[in-house]
Amino acid sequence: MGAEGTRAELDGKVALVTGGAGGIGGAVALDLAAHGADVAILDVQLGGVATEVLAGIERHGSRALALAVDVADRGRAGEVVAEVREQLGGLHILVTSAGINRDSMIWKMTVEDWRAVLEVDLSGTFYYCQAVAPIFRGQGFGKIVTISSINGLRGKVGQVNYSAAKAGVIGLTKALAKELARSNVNVNAVSPGFIQTPMTAAMPRQAREAAIAEIPLGRPGRPEDVAALVTFLCSERARHITGEVIKVDGGQYI
Express each pLDDT in 178-227 by its tens digit.
Answer: 999 999 999 999 999 999 888 777 778 888 888 899 999 999 999 999 99
Residue type at 172?
L
Distance between CA atoms of residues 106 and 117, nearest Å: 14
Q: What is the pLDDT of residue 4?
A: 53
Spatial neighbors of 150 by CB under 8 A, at least 6 apart, are 191, 192, 193, 247, 249, 252, 253
Residue 251: left if φ>0, alpha if ψ -120 to 50, beta else—which one?
A: left
Please state, in angstroms and rounded to a whole number, the distance separating the CA atoms of residues 4 and 207.
42
Task: State how far the Cα of 9 lies from the Cα of 2, in Å rounded to an integer.
Answer: 11
Residues 77 and 41: their CA atoms lie apart, in Å, by 13
What topology is assigned to 3-247 in CATH?
A: Rossmann fold (3.40.50)
162 is catalytic: yes
pTM (2 d.p.): 0.95
pLDDT at 1: 45
Strand order in the sheet with 38-43: 64-68, 38-43, 14-18, 93-96, 142-147, 185-192, 245-248
3-state secondary structure of 66: strand
pLDDT, residue 2, reads: 47
Question: Which one from 127, 128, 162, 253 is the annotated catalytic residue?
Answer: 162
Q: What residues in the chain have per-residue pLDDT under 50?
A: 1-3
